[in-house]
Every structure is written in C-alpha cells, then in structure tokens.
Amino acid sequence: MSARDPRPAPLSEAVALQAAQWFLLLQGGDASERDHARWRQWHEADPLHAQAWQRAQRVGQKFAIVPRDLAGPALQRPGRGERRRVVKALALLLMAAPAGWLVWQQTPARDWLADARTARGERRSLVLADGSRVDLDTASAIDLRFDGEQRLLQLRAGAIHVRTAADPQPRHRPFIVATAEGRMQALGTRFTVRQGPGHTQVAVFEGAVRVQPAQAARDGSGALVLLAGQQAVFSPTEVQAVQPVAAHADAWVNGVLQVREMRLQDFAQALGRYRTGLLRCDPAVADLRISGAFQLDDTDAVLQSLPQALPVQVLWRTRYWVTLQAAQH
C-alpha cells in the first residue's frame, strides 16, 4: 500500500476478535473502571489495536450491529451462541479491508450533517417552506437552500419523492433538485430521484421535469424534458435512453417494495437497503424470480415468508447477518 493510500491494511483475525470483544463490552454501558483501564492498556499496546478500535466504532455506527441486550455480557459469557455469533460477525467486518473501507465510505460525514436525513430502514416526510412535500427513502440525505432566486434541494444520498407546490413568492423561483450528476427542474410535478454510484435516476409521475447533466450545463448544450410516465438515468455527460416508468416505482413512499419477476439477487439488494446489517444471496439461487408486494416496515417477516414462495432457506447467522440459499432436501 502506498504512502498516499488512505485505506487501512487488513487486520489479523486475533486483533479483530479482540477489538470486537472490547467493543461489545464497552458498548453495553456496564463496564467497570477496571474494564476501562484494561481496554486503555490494550488500545495503547499496539497501533493495530487502535486501528481495529477505530474500525469497530465505524462499523458499529454504520450497521448498528451490536444489540444492547447482548453487549454487556459478551465477555463474561462468551459461550452463549448468539453473543459469540455477534462477536464473530463484527470481527469479520473489521477484517474486511479494503472492501470494508468502501462500505464505511458509503455514508460520508457531510451526509450526517445534512439538513435532513434518514437512517437505514427509516423513511421520513417533510413539508417545505413553500408547501412542497418531500419523502426521504431509507439512508437518504438532503440539503435545502431557498432564497430569492431559486428553491434548491441537493440530494446527497439515497432517494426522494417530490410533490411540488406553487411558489408563494411574487417572483417565481424555479424548484430544482441537484445531484452529483446534474440538475432537474420541476415543471409542476410529482417525481422521484435516486442517487446511484455515478448516475442519477429520475422518474416522472405527474407534470414534467427538465433534466440537465452537469457537463451540459457547463457547455451550454440542451436539456431533456421528461413527461409524466417517463424515466431516465443520466451521468454528468449524458441522459441515457428514456423509458416508461416502472410499475409501482414509487411504492416505497407507502412502505411497500413491489416487484414483478425480479431476480432474487436484485430483490435481496433492494430489501437490504431497508435492513440493518448484511443480507446476502447465494449465487446458486440468485437467478430465481420473485413477484409480490412486501412490507418494508417488517423485513424480518418478508425474509421468513420467502421459503413459502421459492425453493430457498433463510440462514440467520445473527439477526444482522442473513443469507438466502438453496433449500436443503
């Protein structure tokens, strides 16, 4: 790893397990002064210990992987199956560098400081100063800047559903949603915007939306107007082919994941956005197809129902580490 590479080096299994055990104990809130003294001694004994501890804090915050009722007794009774599995799950995440480093970077500090945000599995509705309504999907973050010239909503992460209202100001101010890839101007409309890795997806349900990639704005080239019933994906340089809006694409606003003939791998990825922890799909069942409407407020129940519809079984290593795999006959 070069001197300029900010990614941490992989940890050994022994150090990762030690860090996981210490994190569980101290997270429980009932550690003694002697426990804290022993932790400080361990923390200062080796730079790798400090690195492992920093990772444990990041992973714990990101995945909320440590249940409060398991944390305190984790060291005192390590033989308990659930506690031992939690320790191992956390240790595996600590060892997952540089891949784990990429996971941690999915929530930059600026997203935590956004004007409005949602945690994993949370949804939220806002009424803005102009009367417009914004619904935030899971793990989303926005900044707002309303001034005399414009009504600007910056989507930093996740997805939003927007229903614009008429501007109450005498001087009309355009309603604009900005992402890393460009800008969208609402033309009396209801639409959704999702920030993806290197692209933005916009779907229009009512009215119209004017889409302008960042490069088009810089060089003065034209923008594309999407009408109701149309959706598109765009990068900083271009808008890809316009397509019909997928059926029930806005169902998440009502707490529903509605799919039709979706690959199980893609379904697991979509459902995983609403769960804390890791949800994996074994390659052996990745291409199975699933259809239905699933309640996002109880993803455990959704997972438990899958074996009734597909030849799969759900392997619960912990509540926070779940794998979909082929059913055993």
Token representation of residue 26: 């101290």
Domain made up of 110-244: CATH architecture: Sandwich (2.60)
Question: Which of 36-45, 84-93, 164-173, 251-260 comes out lowest in average pLDDT?
Answer: 84-93
Residue corresponding to tokens 């890839």: 181
- pLDDT at position 243 over 90: yes
The segment with the largest mean pLDDT, out of 36-45, 98-107, 201-210, is 201-210
Q: Can you give the pLDDT at residue 192?
A: 98
Is the omega angle on the peptide bond into residue 98 within 30 degrees of 0, that is, cis? yes
Per the prediction, the chain carries an average pLDDT of 84
pLDDT-derived band at 315 (thresholds 50, 70, 90) equals very high
- Residue 269 or 104, more confident: 269
Secondary-structure class of domain 255-326 per CATH: alpha beta
Domain coordinates of the chain in residue numbers? 13-104, 110-244, 255-326
Per residue in 150-183, pLDDT (tens digit) is: 999 999 999 999 999 999 888 889 999 999 999 9
- As a whole number of angstroms, the distance between CA 141 and CA 179 comes to 11
Indicate if 255-326 has the same CATH topology as 110-244.
Answer: no
In this predicted structure, what is the pLDDT of residue 74?
40
Query: Beta strand 278-281 with 321-326: parallel, antiparallel or unpaired?
Result: parallel
* Number of Cβ atoms within 10 Å of the Cβ of 153: 25
265 pLDDT exceeds 80? yes
Q: Six-digit token pair at 62?
A: 């990101």
- With a pLDDT cut of 90, the percent of the chain lying above it is 54
What is the reported pTM? 0.67
